[in-house]
Amino acid sequence: MTREELEHIIRASADVTDQYEFVIIGSQSMLGPVPNPERVFSVSMEADIYPLDFPDLADKIDGAIGEGSYFHETYGYYAQGVGPTRRYYLGTG
């Protein structure tokens, strides 16, 4: 994902939620301070995102511009609506 694609996701998320401040987590969060990272850091086609003040609206983002959506099919990248308590699990136990 490029910085321009991330900016597109943020604008689309704003349209969906009527919010204008978002938290980006995961690998795409580096596109803020590093607009042109090495190619290896930009292979992901999804951005994990939620509205700063209303994280519960992340479901609206996921439904409107998430994986398998018309947005995803059209642009080849998508948003994954997550929340501030998202957990990363390692292993099987």
Q: Which pLDDT band holds residue 86 (cuts at 50, 70, 90)?
A: low
32: how many CB neighbours lie within 10 A of its CB?
Answer: 11
Q: Residue 76 falls within a domain, yes or no?
A: yes
pLDDT in tens, 28-72: 988 888 888 888 778 889 999 999 999 999 999 999 999 999 999
Q: DSSP characters for 3-55?
A: HHHHHHHHHHHHHHHS---EEEESGGGGGTT-SS--GGGG---EEEEEESS-G
Structural domain contains residue 62: yes
Does residue 93 sit within a domain? no
Residue 91 lies in a domain: no
**How many folded domains does the chain comprise?**
1
Pick the closest to residue 4 from 77, 72, 81 (CA basis).
77
pTM for the structure as a whole: 0.87
Number of other CB atoms surrounding residue 14 within 10 Å: 15
Q: Is residue 11 part of a domain?
A: yes
Give yes or no for a contact between 66 and 80, defined as CB atoms under 8 angstroms apart: yes
More confident residue, 42 or 93: 42
The answer to whether residue 92 sits within a structural domain is: no
| Residue 24 · residue 6 · CB < 8 Å | yes
Residue 29 lies in a domain: yes
Which domain range does residue 54 map to? Answer: 3-81
